[in-house]
Structure 1
């Protein structure tokens, strides 16, 4: 599963607001046994949104969590752009959402508010909004669109994750600190099997934090330590404190 995040908000990029979504989604996915594949923070620009949504649609086994731009003002492009990419421009009013608007605002002309309920065709609601009860929406159980307000969007995110991402075993990670530059270990690194998730983080003191995860990670981790010994490279197995420095 390749999970994308799109955070829409010119006000984040120009400094008027701080992002609250990246860390929340990242941590919620990790607790469920998943990881983000990519995250974009973008302006409210329809061409940019169209390009990003197209990329996500073309990516096999993709899933999207999108925050912002589903309102009814002229600078909100998410609903129409999502329809253009994911439902061939077809849109419709969600009757349940329309009814909620009428219930909240009785004896009013709600025709302009109904734009909030004008969604890509066959989109389904994400109801978990403790602020005002207005839903976000879900296309094909893969693409989730929520408001920019964290107080509304994060409960909807939990709703989607719990419903559509079965809990998996949290990935076990094995990490060591090597007292060497990356270049000194390059020949060893080239022999690491591609199916093992591997990363190296160089530090300013010329040590390297090296981490393994996924299938056969423990076996490769032990093999790597053996190779370091054979090449007279000192190392230590990392603690949580080492990894936060």
Structure 2
């Protein structure tokens, strides 16, 4: 697979109406950074079947997408993710996975759940699904498709160990040294757009404008794996600021491993 683009799809009307707070974005973004990757996008959507299908189709349109989905894989009427995954990524059918039925059945015996026929519906998964089993709370499995679409429960205590299971299996940590240089200039960011448009390849730019009572400022940050390219990009900003007689102050140089 080419360089993966990681996405979070967080499904839960209760987050959007503020009955619960999201804990998945912060977890996944930090977990990826710790392993040398980064999160490219995060979506929070309501428990709407059509919306889930269309969002999954959109994310799957990226050939290098890796999607971690949180929520909606249970057996209650508002759990639509299993079916939506089947429609968006397969032929629309749910097929009972014997291994999932066995695991769920064993857990149900220990839990003495009334009407066990309903939880057993969680064993009905899209064709070709494989299981995520690291759920220390109740042992109910999640699932994944094509080694890059991962479906976990909405509860962080259940979902986050499954995410680590998936990352350990398919995306082991890698060591990447990231170099960063910053400065703060006493001007609007529009004064430096021409420099921003002409940076060396492989350099990532961050421009953060600020407005204070004594005037505007902009914090410029350039980063990348190649220290020479980062230094060249930084020097272009410095040269432009000095030529235009715009005051600035450099920040601390940063070199970290991700």
- Give the TM-score normalised by structure 1: 0.91
- More off after superposition, 208-217 vs 100-109: 100-109
Aligned partners of 1:101 and 1:110 also within 8 Å: no
Deviations 1:189-226 (A, max 9, x none): 22224542112010122111111122522331233223
One of 12, 25, 36 as aligned partner of 1:9:
12
Aligned partners of 2:12 and 2:71 also within 8 Å: yes
Offset of residue 170 of structure 1: 4.9
Offset of residue 109 of structure 1: 6.2
Offset of residue 73 of structure 1: 0.8
One of 236, 240, 249 as aligned partner of 1:227:
240
In 1: Cα distance, 2:252 partner to 2:132 partner: 40
Given the superposition, is the C-alpha separation of residues 31 and 170 from structure 1 closer, same or farther in structure 2, using an over 3 Å criterion? farther
Aligned partners of 1:179 and 1:233 also within 8 Å: yes
Please list, as runs of the form range in 1=range in 2, the aligned pairs for 1:20-31 lying within 5 A after superposition.
Answer: 20-31=23-34
Given the superposition, is the C-alpha separation of residues 20 and 78 from structure 1 closer, same or farther in structure 2, using an over 3 Å criterion? same
One of 231, 238, 245 as aligned partner of 2:251:
238
Say whether residues 1:134 and 2:147 are aligned partners: no
Residue equivalent to 1:18: 21
In angstroms, what is the RMSD of aligned CA positions? 1.9
- Describe the SS at the equivalent of 2:238: helix
One of 45, 50, 62 as aligned partner of 2:48:
45
Deviation >6 Å, runs of 4+: none
Offset of residue 161 of structure 1: 1.6
Aligned partners of 1:198 and 1:212 also within 8 Å: yes
Say whether residues 1:209 and 2:209 are aligned partners: no
Given the superposition, is the C-alpha separation of residues 83 and 171 from structure 1 closer, same or farther in structure 2, using an over 3 Å criterion? farther
Deviations 1:129-168 (A, max 9, x none): 1101111111111000000000001111111122211323
Name structure 1 gaps, 5 residues minimum: 241-245
One of 72, 76, 80 as aligned partner of 1:73:
76
In 2: Cα distance, 1:33 partner to 1:80 partner: 33
- More off after superposition, 122-131 vs 144-153: 122-131
- Give the TM-score normalised by structure 2: 0.86
Given the superposition, is the C-alpha separation of residues 55 and 193 from structure 1 closer, same or farther in structure 2, using an over 3 Å criterion? same
Please list, as runs of the form range in 1=range in 2, the aligned pairs for 1:85-234 lying within 5 A after superposition.
Answer: 85-106=88-109, 110-168=116-174, 169-193=176-200, 195-205=202-212, 206-214=216-224, 215=226, 216-234=229-247
- More off after superposition, 184-193 vs 116-125: 184-193
Offset of residue 113 of structure 1: 1.9
- Describe the SS at the equivalent of 2:8: strand
State the number of aligned residues: 240
Name structure 2 gaps, 5 residues minimum: 254-258
